[in-house]
Chains A and B, each alone.
Chain A
Amino acid sequence: MPSPLPFEIHHRPVVTSTMDVAAAEAAQGAAEGWTLVADEQTAGRGRRGREWTSPAGAGVYLSVVLRPPVAAGDDRLLSLLTLAVGVGVRDGLQVATGLAPDVKWPNDVFVGRRKLAGILAEGLALGTPAQCVVVGVGINLRTAAYPPDVAAVATSLEAELGRVCDRDLVIDEVLAGVGRAYGDLKDGRAGDILRRWREASPWAVGTRVEWESPSGPQTGETAGIDETGALLVRTTDGIARVIAGEVRWKI
Chain B
Amino acid sequence: MTLDDIKHLIELIREHDLSEFELEQEGFRLRIRKGGETVTVQAAPVAAPVVQAPAAPAPTAAAPLAPTDDEGGDLAIVKSPIVGTFYRAAEPGAPAFVDVGSPVRKGDVLCIIEAMKLMNEIDSEHDGEIASVYVENGQSVQYGERLFAIRLKR
Q: Are B94 and A49 in contact (CB under 8 A)?
A: yes
CB distance from B93 to the nearest CB of A (A): 9
CB distance from B145 to the nearest CB of A (A): 13
Count of residues in B whose CB is under 8 Å from the partner chain: 22
Which of B41-49, B67-75, B76-84 forms part of the interface with chain A?
A: B76-84
Q: Are B116 and A229 in contact (CB under 8 A)?
A: yes
Which of A56-64, A122-130, A186-194, A200-208 forms part of the interface with chain B?
A: A122-130
Q: Are B118 and A123 in contact (CB under 8 A)?
A: yes
* Residue B120, interface by CB 8 Å: yes
CB distance from B95 to the nearest CB of A (A): 12
Q: Give the docked Cα–Cα distance between A47 and B119 (Å).
A: 8
Q: Are A243 and B116 in contact (CB under 8 A)?
A: yes
Q: Give the docked Cα–Cα distance between A86 and B117 (Å).
A: 11
Q: Which residues of A contact B118 (CB under 8 A)?
A: 78, 81-82, 121-123, 133
Q: Give the docked Cα–Cα distance between A50 and B91 (Å).
A: 8
**28 chain-A/chain-B pairs, Cβ below 8 angstroms:** A48-B91, A49-B91, A50-B91, A80-B116, A81-B116, A81-B118, A82-B116, A82-B118, A106-B117, A107-B117, A120-B117, A120-B119, A122-B118, A122-B121, A123-B120, A123-B121, A124-B121, A127-B81, A133-B118, A212-B138, A214-B138, A214-B140, A230-B116, A243-B85, A243-B116, A244-B116, A244-B117, A245-B114
* Chain B positions near chain A (C-beta within 8 angstroms): 81-85, 87, 90-92, 94, 114-121, 123, 138-140
Q: Which 5 A-B pairs have the closest CB atoms?
A: A49-B91, A127-B81, A244-B85, A123-B120, A244-B114
